[in-house]
């Protein structure tokens, strides 16, 4: 999963692979440091390609951390 994300950053920004990797690692580290208890391990699992969580579950929780809709919320 991390390699896919790095490739997306390279394609969308034109950064070198090394710079894209550094950017992705920085963002993932930031999210893990700021994540609520228990979510850090799910981030590791998702980025590392593990099976501990689904992408939708992580996206929902991370979106909620930054003011987005949380799982189960409806449009207002």
Say how far apart CA 41 and CA 53 lie, in whole Å: 9
**Residue 72, domain member (yes or no):** no
Range of the structural domain that residue 36 is part of: 2-65
Say how far apart CA 2 and CA 23 lie, in whole Å: 11
Instruction: Pick the more confident residue, 76 or 24.
Output: 24
Specify the number of domains making up the chain.
1
Tell me the pLDDT tens digit for each residue of 36-71.
878 888 888 888 765 444 444 444 444 454 454 444
End-to-end Cα separation, the chain, in angstroms = 33
How is residue 70 annotated by DSSP?
Answer: P
Q: How many percent of the chain have pLDDT more than 70?
A: 63
CB-CB neighbours of 60 under 10 Å: 16
At residue 26 the predicted structure's pLDDT band, cuts being 50, 70 and 90, is very high
Output the pLDDT for position 42.
87
Q: What angle do CA 68, 71, 73 make, to 5 degrees?
A: 75
**Residue 48, domain member (yes or no):** yes
What number is the average pLDDT over the span 4-8? 92
């Amino acid at each position: 999963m991390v390699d896919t994300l790095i490739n997306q950053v390279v394609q969308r920004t034109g950064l070198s692979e090394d710079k894209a990797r550094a950017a992705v690692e920085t963002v993932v580290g930031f999210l893990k440091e700021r994540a609520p208890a228990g979510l850090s391990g799910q981030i590791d699992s998702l980025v590392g390609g593990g099976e501990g969580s689904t992408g939708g579950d992580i996206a929902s929780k991370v979106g909620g951390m930054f003011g987005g809709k949380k799982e189960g919320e409806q449009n207002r």
